[in-house]
Amino acid sequence: MIFERDGADVPVVIVGAGPVGVTAALLLARRGVRSVVLERHRDIYPLPRAGAYDDEVRRILQAAGVGEEIAAMARPTKGLRLLDARHRVMAEFRRTEHGLHGYPQTSMFDQ
C-alpha cells in the first residue's frame, strides 16, 4: 500500500505517465478510486509514444472524459500504406469511415 503525505492510503499505483498510465489514472479518478502515477522522467518525455489510435481507444478516451479534446488534435485516416525503401507498396490497409463504436476506425496525431 502506498501512503500520501497526509497518511491516507492510495490503493492503486500506476507505473508510467505515458498515454496508457495517464488514461488509467483518469478512468480510476472518474470512478472515485484514488491512485498515484509514478514516472521516472521529470519533464515531459521528448519522444512520441503513440502516433495513431483506433475507434476502441477513442471509446476509452471518451469514457475518460478527454475524447473530444484528443479528437480535435487528430486526423481520421482512410487507411495505411506501407512502403519499402524504393517506395513500392508492401501492404495496404483500408478503413471504413466509422468503426463499431461510431468513431473513425483510425486517427493519427502529432506529438
The rounded distance, in Å, linking the Cα atoms of 57 and 93 is 18
Which pLDDT does position 18 carry in this prediction?
Answer: 86
pLDDT in tens, 8-21: 788 999 999 988 99
CB 31 within 8 A of CB 55: no
For residue 2, what pLDDT band results from cuts at 50, 70 and 90?
Answer: low
How confident is the model at residue 71, as a pLDDT? Answer: 93
Lay out the sheet containing 106-109: strands in order across.
52-54, 106-109, 74-76
Banded pLDDT at 96 (limits 50, 70, 90)? confident
pLDDT at 69: 94
Any idea where the domains of the chain sit in the sequence? 1-49, 50-111
pTM for the model: 0.72
